Structure 1
Amino acid sequence: MSQTKQTEFEGIVFFRRNYRERDMLVKILTDHFGFKMFFIRGARKRGFRLSAAILPFTQASYVGAVSEDGLSFINAVKESTQYRQILNNIELNAYVSYIFELANAAFGESKPLGAWFNQLQQAAVLIDQGIDPAIITNIIEIRLLTYFGVQPNLHDCVICHRTDRVFDFSESYGGLLCQQHWSVDPHRLQLDRRTIYFLQVFSQLNLFNIHSIKVSQATKIKLRRTLNRIYDNQVGLKLKSRRFLEEMKIWPA
């Protein structure tokens, strides 16, 4: 039998959808319980007292009944703030939605994320503050690979373990190949030094250490193509939110 306990927790609203005539289901990334779905009775009624606290990309301190397996409930909100730039900008909204959906796929439902809650929260903060959302997304994607069972070696050559040579990335060998061993994989990704450099840096980067970051548009395109290929071929994950981001790129200005 599923256990439910009354508790206070910090959370960020991921998404919500209408349920029945007057209610809503709201998914929240919580600090102690991971991704949880909450049933909000009367949420669609005019003047609903918690309406501001369940808007997408709102962070709040909630009080509620959290269930181990089933739907949870919110009884009160102590304080709340909104990521206003994300909420009002469809592109920023799409990037953060993808980051959260990716993390949800990596960790699953109702599993505590530990320090990852703070990293995802910081991703939203940085994007809301104007840091390049594509780069923040790349960092999250690279660092989440291990939770999908994919651990590319981005430290040294997977064959000779040299660190002082020019590298390329090999899907077949699961990481970097130095120039001396490029011949073993004729299908290596043909990445330039700059793209390899950022893959290495991003794999170790703590989001709390980012104050500004600039990457050329050409390198951003190569990073996007590389990570799409890894997620498509090695993870086998194609999320709706990523497809929406890709479709946005071809929208008329």
Structure 2
Amino acid sequence: MSIVIVDEFELFLKKHYTSKYTIKSYLSDAKEFVEKGYSFDKEGIRQFIFDLLDTEKSASTINRKLASLSVFFEFLKSRGVVDKNYVKLTEKPKNDKYLPAFLEVDEIVGLLENIKNLRDRALLELIYSSALRASEVLGLNVEDIDFDKLKIRVRRKGAKEMYIPISKRASDYLKAYINGRQEGPVFLNRYGKRLSDRSLRKIVKKYALKTIAKDISPHTLRHSRATHLLNSGMDLRLLQKFLGHNTIKATQIYTHLNLKQLAKVYDNSHPLSKDE
């Protein structure tokens, strides 16, 4: 269905727009949204924004993409695929200050502890423990894992490689899942090929809806880990290095999140916050 929708959207654009650049830009952004498996609702739009922010896209770039998606959602609305243009109903990032969604620690525990499939448990344990981007965990090869030193080699933007730590628990699940394999992609689909981005998103969404009744993306696990580390006292510069952010500005978004959460906890615990 998704492929057909994009093809129909291309015909729609060619009928209503004359600029080849506009058509190419709108179509490219719509394809990106569809191919990565975001849901056609407000939560899907929010996850799209979070993921772009995590790759350090500017607010202006994100808002340009959202303008494309607004046209796409108007098209979807005209076809009866959605009942509203959810792009228009979603808060847009301003000055790059847009707080990412995250899960509480007990929600993470509930999510992970209810995954019985070994591959999926190893996959989500690793994403959370090492705060990995989807591309980083999917690009991981068996040769990149050092079980003895509890670290993995990840490939980041700009062809950069770095070693980051993994938890003992994630390591144990990884070792059990790999089961002696010496090389090749770590996470495989049922055909023995490297797991795709779309499949990863479906896996995360499936377990989250089933266990904690939330529609999340792989990046939500990354955001959650970053938030939990900051709340535990990790230095911001160290967190920047751990997350692989090129600038401290991208990491500072978690300080805003941290302060917001602190204010919420304070308000809820204040003796005057409860009715007599």
Structure 1-normalised TM-score?
A: 0.30
Higher strand share: 1
Higher helix share: 2
Higher RCO (Cα < 8 Å, 6 or more apart): 2
Structure 2-normalised TM-score?
A: 0.29
